[in-house]
Structure 1
Amino acid sequence: MTRPRRPLRTMLAVALVAGGLSALAHAQPAAATTLPTGFQEQIVFSGLNQPTNIEFAPDGRVFVAEKGGRVKVYDNLADPTPTVFADLSTNVFNVWDRGLLGLALPPDFPANPYVYVLYTYDAPPGQTAPYWNDNCGDANNGQCVVQGRLSRLQAAGNVMTGSEQVLITDWCQQFPSHSIGDLKFGADGMLYVTGGDGASFSATDYGQLGTPRNPCADPPSAVGGVMNPPTAEGGALRSQDVRSTGDPTSLDGAVLRLNPATGAAAAGNPLSGSADANARRIVAHGLRNPFRMTIRPGTNEVWAGDVGWNVWEEVNRVTNPTAGVTNFGWPCYEGMGVMGSYDGANLNLCESLYTAGGHAQPYYTYNHTGAVVPGENCGNGGDAISGLAFYPTSGGNYPAAYAGGLFFADYSRNCIWAMKPTSPGGLPSTAAIEAFGQAAAGPVDLAMGPGNELYYVDLGGTVRRIRYFPGNQPPVAAFSATPVAGQPLRLDFDAAASTDADPADQGRLTYAWDFTNDGSTDATGVTTSFTYPASGSYTAKLTVTDTLGAGDTHLVTIQPGRTAPVATIDTPAASTTWKVGDQIGFTGHGSDAEQGTLPASALSWRLRMHHCESVGNCHVHEVQQWAGAAGGTFVAPDHEYPSYLELELTATDADGLSNTVSRQLDPKTVDLTFRSNPAGLSLNVGAFTGPTPFTRTVIQGSTNTVSAPSPQSAGGSVNTFANWSDGGANSHVITAPTAAATYTATFTSVAGCADSFGYVCTTQTGQPFAAADGAVLPLTGDDAVTPVSLPFPFRLYGQEYGSAWVSTNGFVSFADPGQAGLVAVNSALPNSSAPNAAVYPFWDDLVQRADSTVRTGVSGTAPNRKFTVEWRNSGYYGSNSGRVRFSAVFGEDGSITYHYADLSTADREEGNSATVGIEDGSGTVGLAYSVDQPVLRDGTTVTFSPPGGTPPPTTGTISGVVSANGSPLAGATLTLSPSGRTATSAGNGSYQFTAVPAGAYTVSGTAPGGFTGSSPVTVTAGGAHTVNLTLTGPPPSSGDYTKTTQARPYVSTADGTVLPVTGDDAVGQVTLPFGFEFYGQQQTTAWVSTNGVLSFVNPGGATPENTALPTAALPNAALYPYWDDLVQRSGSVIRTKVVGSAPNRQFVVDWFNTGMYGSSSARISAQVVLSESGEIAFNYADLASSARERGDSATVGIEDATGANAVQHSLNQGVLNNGEAIVFTPN
């Protein structure tokens, strides 16, 4: 039959300026971001000045925060012009990464008429804003000390009324990043707040930097006092301040839970009994820069993105904010491991945490040098996690796989990812991450908006929406026009840049040009031309339409006779270079062909710092802005290298046309070489840790912290720090000179390789290699781990183990390491971060290439058996040619021997980035033969021998993986009976109970959706027991249904959700609000056809010709309330609605006022009602007395997925009645 055309979708184009041509700014598609099939990005708002945060009000209004201090409000998503709700710019310190960053609305807004803001307050402690006036000459050298402020603003319509109500002023910040963060309301109605540590991002900062030192008065000194290890508690250690009870607690690096009316601690907080008001507010800490967070819908779980230093980005989860204070470990830990530079500084707050343990590991981490998803187009390096948002578990039109998933973004990589659950109702799985939005536009905030669509804020000035089209996608209109100036102005228009994602529309788009926007079509075709005779302002419009009638419109303002001005930077010269602390002056001017030399008021400047992971791989920090000035000065900032400054000048004429030019200003650099005596020991320089000798290129005048980890084991010697060649303490600051320099750390060495438990390591040369020629393990690619069963119980550090996990990264762990099994960045030993209970023959970032294998083998007879794990021909990350071969041999006597072969003389293959050693299960005792030292040789073995007479252990461990429906299950609750201990399965389904006294137990598991399971286990002293638990759902029904008819009212869906399923023979996908069992199978999604059919499997199209049931032909697994050739006409609509609350919810699909093919007047209304109990009901309304409307050409019934079983109510019989429901009850 003939398909009707779909309604035209009109959207306007992205704001651009090109001489006398400028696009109009309003809602429009944006073609840059690469998205999964069916998704399209649209610009909703543009023209904003560095927007940072977005909030959607229940009444349809949209609030947007700008970094400089303004809050703007749009009446709705179609409003092109915002109102300034509040201007806090006088109080806001807008320099570098500081500014207005947090925004929140209470759930019952506007009945509760407050807008909450979180910003950097422009004054040091004890002072009043404006103090710095956004102009501090040496901010990144720690000179511009400020605070954070949380306030609420009362709304009266679209403007603030009354004065700002300040709730908290705190968060002392010395350096211009890691400022305040984000605001969210939890399901409990409490206000959650994050803030950064306010410390240096260039150096290891414990309060010793800047002038004066210690401006936040952190212990043990007053402002200006000396701050030295081990007692210093300033700088980044403010994130651990709540652990130091002898001084007032700061809020830096913490998550707060507050009473939103007062800013005081919320009732039920873990430290509610503390005498310290700030301690009472804190529910989590140990964070560096939790710039963005989100709350898992329907819970109070806080999921925070913590921007890392130079190696790791983190997603951290606070499972229950009232159960106890969670410590994520910064600056003592980053990612899954110890932060080397702070460990090397030997600070009490870190050393005590290493000893006590108990910090919370991230839910997910990604490394700056690697891809989040293999093959993605997101780049790497200089990363900054900058947004998180959960997709709802029900109610959205995105595909069902996204339900309950976590979207997260990275501003530096310009990408958005989706971490999806592997089972309905489960937690996002770290094993199910998709590169969702590649080449996005600078995302700094993510939010779910109206229609449960994902929105993101672009710091460059736009708010963007990602929309899903389950059927036809509309095209994206775009065109160019040349030349840009002239009078009269003859323009050549070219629409070749217009696109459509649907393959069927390739080369079949139609074009309609309206050069003066008067409603008439002036031309068609991809290219055309038009002459504008006189000066003035015109609007040219292009409408692009696809083969199904979906369209898009692009409008551009044409200004013939007018040209953009020319901006010119006069000083500094392009050849200018700088060192830290240099004062640099700048001047410039603007000229316009029509208006002459522009006044200073027409000029504006921006200074940016490009911070690079490597040369050419950079992200941007906005340093400072100047408006209405022909020149000024700034002080060259302190920063890591590689980095450079960009000075930008924009000139804007009286017609609003503008021109922007920029100048790159490179730093003066110097090479600093670091050595140790003896050579090959590890040193820390800033965030870098590596074996000597090495050279670091830094900016002249920059601040660099150095430290020498002590003691270190290397080559059979224990090395203890003695002195630095420059006379500095073990941890001290080097201000980079202008000439190359060398710094040497001298150690005192004594023979020996032993630990406190009694293990001793020895070496022996001239030994044959121990190969493993048994099983080849299923380990391929990068960062993989697999479990193995041991052929005999093996004892390590007094604990006996029966299984182990082998990692491609050169180690074996006897406790399930979970995600830590993938850790590629080695560390010193011991390290309380997983992996633990491990042996490390060559822990490095290794890769299994095509010619690589990992193998196991068993030799000998009891009691002298040996179990060997061999990494044969393993490659390492960053090299296509490098290979290493090594093995670990486990003796039945408890000995461990490492063998090496085929090593080249390259430092990397000899171990200069590897850890070689062993470690206990707690990560508090370990023995390293070498860490980042090139001391490994072919034929030389390293043997670790256990002590004699070890006291027998009294406890064991239980670990395993929880799964359901064949996939790992995250978020399951595990209970150990009779002890009553509980655990939660991680993203990969793993769990663990440690220190379990010997005895008989039962491990029970539960998960959302009624999944349960249990397994008995007998724990032996020193034993490691694997209990993999498979959870099963509720028992399926018999698959049979009983059909009855009952008098039931038609359910009104007037306030329901309209499905985008229109016209003739269309199908749309919906996500069910609850799992629904149909013929014994759990269903989570459905396809709705205009032809009166709901199918639980993709039917592949809308089938208008009905048949008898059952039938093997599609559709199957389907409900047929009125299967006929129906048409959605004017006034017709298909809607869904959820009625009631769990566990008695109903999901209604309503074909309202639906037309019938071949008749312009016949209309019917039919609906399916799915009950959480499993019942199915068909309701009818508006049926006329005619046989056609009562079903004489329709099929009514239900059918299973095979098309072999069905319950048919009627076939081509006019027996349907208004108010009479057909009910199918499962048996």
Structure 2
Amino acid sequence: MKLKSSSIATLTFTLIFFAVFILKYEANISTGDLAYQYEVGVAFPNLSFSSPIGIYNARDGSNRLFVVEQQGIIRVFENTKNTTTANVFLDISNKVINSGELGLLGLAFHPNFTSNGYFYVYYTSDNPLRSVFSRFTVSANNPNEANVTSEFILLQVLQPFTNHNGGQIAFGPDNYLYIALGDGGGAGDPLGNAQNRSTLLGSILRIDVDSSSGGLNYSIPNDNPFVGNVQGYREEIFAYGLRNPWRFSFDPVTGWLWAADVGQNRIEEIDIIEKGNNYGWNIMEGSLCYSPPSGCNQTGLELPIWEYNHSLGFSVTGGFVYRGLKLNELKGAYIYGDYGSGRIWALWYNGTGEPVNVELVDTSLSIPSFGVDEMGEVYICAFDGKIYQLNVVDIVAPEIGVPYHTPLEPLPNQEVKVDVNVTDVASGVREVILSYRSDTLWTNVTMILVGGDTYTGNITAMPYQTQVEYRIIAHDNADNTAVNDNLGLFYTYTVIPEFPSTQIITVLMASTLIATFFSCKKRPKKSS
């Protein structure tokens, strides 16, 4: 197929435009110069929680969110802004010791949750003080309620102190359960747990919950880094040398395991966790020597990809790599914050170049956790009892192109399809509405995104000679609204007779010609 010269010119311009746009975008990111400002807003105004320490989704297509309250309760609700009810999904507050850094700390849903109903929790209990990792099962009769009697304890780890418990649990892309444990507490890791691989403390563990072996209620993956060692190292350990890894997550695109490790007196750090690596604590705090305070041996230690000092915050909270749809500029960035200062940052890192870190917003919130919904949108837990969202400061309404309808001349009782391009670079398009009328009343239809920036919707069939007017209304995720009504004239069409006018004219002309032909043929000849 040959392209016309005009088509080639259009294609060339389009490619150049997108190339320039991408280069400009990457250049902005590389210098930390974002195009937009950001803010936090309450995501669910009608809901409040008691010490919400985590927010999760079940990856089951239900569009539900689950909030973990530190005292030992998990609540579930529909992920809609105006939802008014958060039901109790699980209450194990009678099992949980809750104070300071203790409590119900983590939640993870089995990759096959939709079929087996399994989910896993991490909580602290006493007598003796310990971390407990358990499996529960959802109720057979109510998907919004767990069977509280179904607890199956996988693992218990004794704790020497009440702080530095870690708390995150999550399934990796390999379907194994990853568990974060702090060094057991006490200033400076007095027991040396983080560098001691014969204990589970100060490590991220990796276990298989779908089988059991060796007298355990789980099994150890064959490719864990210390499987088969003869030094007495715990084979559950995936990585070690961590002080208090407070929240980790997997990037669903790269599979990388991102973790935030809370520092001692000077440094907060972000790490990419890899199998078998030693992340340095308590030899080092971030990139600085800790014990000894200078001249420490850094051989074999993995330094953080990013760190900050205590002028910016004093307790890092790990987040998620953003893969949602609303915050276009932040795609691929690791969103994290600080519990103490309330700051929230975006961190870009590709594994080779220098990382780029940008402060997005400085809040007054105490932030214990971030979470994502099934669409990858980021949420923020705060100890004021609210769940927040990160929003772009967007005062620009969506841009609506010129709509077009097919067929151009609809027949009676024939539906009309309307297509239109709608864009919103800043916060993204939330909803596009096709609004039409054939009298004084408007009918609104939510249009469907069919590819790229194109939305489509249908106008119902109308009888002969009906005149239809329509317009396009678009809302973005910052609640800006645009209307394209053709400058008040609206877009219009009229339902034609069963035969379109062109066909009627053609038939009339043909009939006239035929009649003329036969008339001439029958005319008598003149006598000579």
- Could you state the TM-score of these two structures normalised by the residue count of structure 2? 0.67
How much does 1:429 deviate? 7.1
1:1071-1107 deviations in Å (ceiling 9; x for gaps): 9xxxxxxxxxxxxxx9999899xxxxxxxxxxxxxxx
Alignment-derived partner of residue 798 in structure 1: none
Corresponding residue SS for 1:327: coil
Give the letter aligned to residue 331 of structure 2: A
One-letter amino acid of the structure 2 residue matched with residue 168 of structure 1: L
- Conserved? CA contact 2:320–2:371, under 8 Å: yes
1:38 and 1:473 in contact (8 A); partners too: no
Equivalent position to 1:153, from 136, 148, 155: 136
**1:438–1:38 CA distance, 2 compared to 1 (3 A):** closer
Residues 490-549 of structure 1 deviation map (CA, whole Å, 9 limit, x = unaligned): xxxxxxxxxxxxxxxxxxxxxxxxxxxxxxxxxxxxxxxxxxxxxxxxxxxxxxxxxxxx
Would you say the 8 A contact 1:1070–1:1088 is kept in 2?
no
Contact 1:443 1:457 in 2 (8 A): yes
| Number of the residue aligned with 1:328 | 279
From 268, 271, 295, give the equivalent of 2:250.
Answer: 295
Q: Which amino acid aligns with 2:336?
A: F
- Paired residue for 1:389? 320
* 1:288-340 per-position Cα deviation (integer Å, ceiling 9, x unaligned): 00011111213442111000000000001124x3xxx110010011111210x
Q: Identity of counterpart residues, as a percentage?
A: 26
Partner of 2:309: 367
Distance 2:106 2:429 in 1: 39
Residue 77 (structure 2) aligns with = 74
- CA gap of 1:153–1:277, structure 2 versus 1, over 3 A, is farther
Q: Distance in 1 between matches of 2:124 and 2:175?
A: 25
Q: What do residues 952-1008 of structure 1 show as CA deviations (whole Å, max 9, x unaligned)?
A: xxxxxxxxxxxxxxxxxxxxxxxxxxxxxxxxxxxxxxxxxxxxxxxxxxxxxxxxx
Q: Is 2:373 the counterpart of 1:1068?
A: no
In structure 2, the CA distance between the partners of 1:461 and 1:276, relative to structure 1 (3 Å rule), is farther
| Equivalent pair of 2:432/2:455 in contact (CA under 8 Å) | no
Tell whether 2:57 aligns with 1:56: yes
Q: Does 1:252 align with 2:201?
A: yes
The Cα of 1:194 is off from its aligned counterpart by 0.4
Structure 1 residue 174, shift from structure 2 partner: 2.2
- Secondary structure at the counterpart of residue 114 of structure 2: coil
Report the Cα offset of residue 368 of structure 1.
0.9
Please identify which structure carries the higher strand content.
Answer: 1
State the SS of the aligned residue for 1:443.
coil
Give runs of aligned pairs for residues 70-109 of structure 1, distance below 5 A. 70-77=73-80, 78-109=82-113
Distance verdict in 2 for CA 1:470–1:86, change over 3 Å: same
Q: Partners of 2:453 and 2:293 in 1: how far apart? A: 62
Q: Which amino acid in the other structure matches residue 72 of structure 1?
A: R
Which of 261, 272, 278 pairs up with 1:317?
Answer: 272
Q: 1:263 to 1:471 in 2, by over 3 A?
A: farther
Q: Which amino acid aligns with 2:130?
A: Q
Tell me if 1:1160 matches 2:468.
yes
Task: Pick closer, same or farther for the CA change 1:344–1:419 going to 2, 3 Å.
Answer: closer
Q: Which residue of 2 aligns with 1:119?
A: 123
Report if the CA contact (8 A) 1:470-1:1069 is conserved.
no
Distance 1:41 1:300 in 2: 29
> Partner of 1:238: helix, strand, or coil?
coil
Question: Counterparts of 1:268 and 1:1184 in 2: how far apart (Å)?
Answer: 69
CA contact (8 A) 2:370 2:381 kept: yes
Q: Tell me the residue number matched to 1:42.
A: 42
Q: 1:270 to 1:462 in 2, by over 3 A?
A: same
Alignment partner, residue 5 of structure 1:
none
In the alignment, does 2:507 pair up with 1:1151?
no
1:163 equivalent in structure 2: 150
After TM superposition, give the deviation of residue 431 of structure 1 in Å.
4.6
Contact 1:1067 1:1090 in 2 (8 A): no
> Relative to 1, partners in 2 of residues 1:1148 and 1:335: Cα closer, same or farther, differing over 3 Å?
same
Instruction: Provide closer, same or farther for how the CA distance between residues 1067 and 1149 of structure 1 changes in structure 2, counting only shifts above 3 A.
Output: closer
TM-superposed deviation, 1:1129: 7.2
Report if the CA contact (8 A) 2:205-2:238 is conserved. yes
CA apart distance, 1:275: 6.5
Between the aligned partners of 1:1149 and 1:72, the Cα distance in structure 2 is 38
Pair 1:1159–1:363, CA change in 2 (3 A): farther
Residues 303 and 318, structure 1, Cα contact 8 Å, conserved in 2: yes
Choose from 392, 395, 398 the match for 2:327. Answer: 398
* Aligned equivalent of 1:174: 160
Structure with higher RCO (Cα < 8 A, 6+ apart) = 2
* Deviation of the 1:441 alpha carbon: 1.9
Q: Which amino acid aligns with 1:441?
A: L
Q: 1:385 to 1:205 in 2, by over 3 A?
A: closer
| One-letter amino acid matched to 1:327 | N
Q: Which amino acid aligns with 2:41?
A: E
Contact 2:39 2:360 (8 Å CA) reproduced: no
For the 8 Å contact 2:122–2:132, the answer to whether it is kept is yes
Alignment of 1:425-444 (within 5 A): 426=350, 431-444=355-368
The amino acid across from 1:52 in the alignment is I
Can you list the C-alpha shifts for 1:803-840, whole angstroms capped at 9, x where unaligned?
Answer: xxxxxxxxxxxxxxxxxxxxxxxxxxxxxxxxxxxxxx
1:323-376: CA deviations, max 9, x gaps? Answer: xx110010011111210xx3269xxxxx9xx5581110011110113x4xxxxx
Higher CA-based Rg: 1
CA offset digits 1:748-781 (Å, max 9, x no partner): xxxxxxxxxxxxxxxxxxxxxxxxxxxxxxxxxx
SS at match of 2:259: strand
| Shift, 1:81, TM fit | 2.4
Q: 1:356 to 1:1091 in 2, by over 3 A?
A: closer
Deviations 1:1040-1086 (A, max 9, x none): xxxxxxxxxxxxxxxxxxxxxx9999642399xxxxxxxxxxxxxx9
**Counterpart position of 2:5:** none
Query: In the aligned structure 1, how far is the partner of 2:64 from the partner of 2:166?
Result: 25
Structure 1 residues 1034-1113: aligned runs within 5 Å: 1067-1069=423-425
Q: Which runs of 5+ in 1 are unaligned?
A: 1-34, 125-145, 207-234, 243-248, 346-350, 372-379, 475-1061, 1072-1085, 1093-1127, 1138-1146, 1165-1182, 1191-1227
What SS does the aligned partner of 1:120 have?
A: strand
The SS at the match of 2:130 is strand
Q: TM-score, normalised to structure 1's length?
A: 0.30
CA contact (8 A) 1:254 1:286 kept: yes
CA contact under 8 A between 2:64 and 2:77: conserved in structure 1?
yes
- Secondary structure class of the residue paired with 1:436: strand
CA contact (8 A) 1:178 1:198 kept: yes
Count of matched residue pairs: 400
| Preserved contact between residue 181 and residue 244 of structure 2 (Cα < 8 Å) | yes
Task: Give the whole-Å Cα distance in 2 for the aligned partners of 1:368 and 1:278.
Answer: 34
Q: C-alpha offsets along residues 235-260 of structure 1, whole Å, 9 cap, x if unaligned?
A: 2x111111xxxxxx211110111113
SS in 2 for 1:239: coil
> 1:205 and 1:336 mapped to 2: Cα distance?
17
For residues 389 and 333 of structure 2, the distance between their equivalents in structure 1, rounded to whole angstroms, comes to: 17
Secondary structure of 1:110's aligned partner: helix
CA RMSD of aligned residues (A): 4.0
Q: Distance in 2 between matches of 1:113 and 1:1089?
A: 34
**TM-aligned CA distance change 1:1088 to 1:166, over 3 Å:** closer
For each residue in 1:576-635, what CA deviation from the matched residue of structure 2 results, as whole angstroms up to 9, or x when unmatched?
xxxxxxxxxxxxxxxxxxxxxxxxxxxxxxxxxxxxxxxxxxxxxxxxxxxxxxxxxxxx
